Amino acid sequence: MAISGIRQDYYQNNVETKRNAKNVNGTEKFALEKTGSTQELSKAEEMELFKKEFYEDLSKITVHKTLNNVAINISEAGFKAMKDDPEYREKILSLLKRDLGSSFAPRNCSAVFTVGATIKEYRGDSWSVGYDSEFYARSQDSFFKKTREKKDRQKELLEEYLEKRAQTRKQQKEMLNEKIAKMEQERSRLAKSWTGKRQMAAVSNAYDANVMMETAAGGDSLLA
């Protein structure tokens, strides 16, 4: 429906005013939403930085040689509690240093340590190596995990390489010795053959000389 005259001007001004107000409110709302997102992202970044620093602290802990495999599971509530309370963070680190550095002799073990929002939730579970399938099941998504499998595999590969190299050298030496032996046999055969030929030549020469002497002697007797 068309609007004319003063009412049209009023309508247009009123609509324009509302539209501007709507734009302003929309801009303010967007700014607030953007600020809220920035704050959430900042908190996420702070937590990520905290986790990185805590991981570095865990990496510095000396693990006892009887603890072959170790994993540390930390809940998000546990991370938040440690981030908000530095004393709780230090207490957890102290407990982990104590337990990771403890001897499990006379057996070698795999262990999983669990950290929650309170000290009561802290616990450790261990299994003898060879009977530690539970460790691998519970450490698939662990925050921190340290195993000796990689080192053992590298050692195994090195031993296999050294063994193969030793076998190759042994085979090469055997082949070389066999070749030398064959060459020596051939040299000996040739030497014997050469010696035999020389002896035969000497015998033949002696025979020819003897025949010639006998022939000459026979000729002289006929002339006489």
Predicted local distance difference test score (pLDDT) of residue 157: 53
**Residue of higher predicted confidence among 216 and 224:** 216
Q: Is 71 exposed, middle or buried (0-12, 13-18, 19+ CB in 10 A)?
A: buried
Contact indicator for 138, 73 with CB cutoff of 8 Å: yes
For residue 116 the two structure tokens come to: 């929650």
For residue 25 the two structure tokens come to: 């409110």
Predicted local distance difference test score (pLDDT) of residue 130: 87
Distance of alpha carbon 130 from alpha carbon 108, whole angstroms: 9
Predicted local distance difference test score (pLDDT) of residue 40: 59
Residues 6+ apart with CB under 8 A from 46: 83
Distance of alpha carbon 33 from alpha carbon 27, whole angstroms: 10
Cross-strand partners of 72: 113, 144
Predicted local distance difference test score (pLDDT) of residue 173: 87
User: What residue has token string 């014997």?
Assistant: 192
Q: What is the largest CA-CA distance in the chain?
A: 181
Average pLDDT score over residue span 38-49:
80
Residues 6+ apart with CB under 8 A from 118: 81
Determine the length of the chain: 224
Average pLDDT score over residue span 1-17:
43
pTM over 0.85: no
Using the predicted structure, report yes or no on whether residue 148 has a pLDDT greater than 90: no
Cis before 106 (ω within 30): yes
Task: Count H helices and E strands in the chain, helices first.
Answer: 5, 4
β-strands 109-115, 67-74 pairing: parallel
Contact indicator for 43, 84 with CB cutoff of 8 Å: no
pLDDT tens column, 104-132: 888 899 999 999 999 999 999 999 998 88
Predicted local distance difference test score (pLDDT) of residue 218: 61
pLDDT tens column, 152-207: 555 555 666 777 788 888 888 888 888 888 888 888 888 777 777 777 777 667 66
Mean of all residue pLDDT scores within the chain: 78
